[in-house]
Copies of this chain bind each other. A is one copy, B any other.
């Protein structure tokens, strides 16, 4: 509490990952067989290989079995179908981009629902947007959520942005959140998840701003999207309690002068979307999320495994 240093809590992904890993380790003890994740590498992108190696390392360090299968991309579909029916395989992860086209989306639907730990199957994506949380009417089998958006959710839970005094499903009621990036992989599903949990979300893309909400008083069962013509970050940032940014590349920086004092800032870009001066204004700053994403993957795998046993 000196008179010259700002008070901003910088929370590293590693610490959040540790707390999630405890939950994973507890879950592991309850099942008899070590879960087996198989990764398929058919991508020429060096980042894909790095991610594959990183998955393997994290699996082995935490009591999971991991096999990497390097497959010619023309043979990948058959290899996935084999893995789908192979009882020795508990979960499947595929490293993209492969064709870098719509064919990649086609391949994502090849992995069977029971082995998809990334949450990319249409059924899971549909449930996510529709705010349907279980696969069965008895609400015993949880629907899987995509890893990166779920990692952000887990981070906001860790940071107590989710208020546990509110009922499950509404715990972001009253939070105003800006998400910068509206990709189909992270930005848009994240905005939908946050709004489905009760937040008032401003989804910012290079072209426009959209508002994702469940309406005043959260009357709607799931979010709806409204265009905000003429809006930019100039309108969103000053009214946002939480700012989540994931613009690829090292050029984009969130304009810090627009931040509401004491905002919570989370960066999910591989580059830093927030200049270091964010600490002058934010109450909490999470500079990177990668380590949480990989633990969320293990958590999804464990959920699949528990369902099978």
Contact = CB atoms under 8 A, between A and B. Distances in A.
A163 B160 contact: yes
Nearest to A222: B1
Contacts of A2: 219
A120 to B, nearest CB: 27
Interface string A1-27: 111111111010000000000000000
Contact of A8 (B1, B159, B200, B217): B217
A98 interface: no
Given A219-B6, A262-B200, A165 B158 contact: yes
A29 to B, nearest CB: 27
Contact of A283 (B7, B158, B198, B279): B198
A167 interface: yes
A216 B6 CA distance: 8
A50 interface: no
A9 B166 contact: yes
A234 to B, nearest CB: 16
B219 A4 contact: yes
Interface in A205-233: 216-221
Nearest to A1: B221
A198 B262 contact: yes
Interface of A: 1-9, 11, 158-160, 163-167, 169-170, 173-176, 198, 200, 216-221, 239, 241, 260-264, 279-284
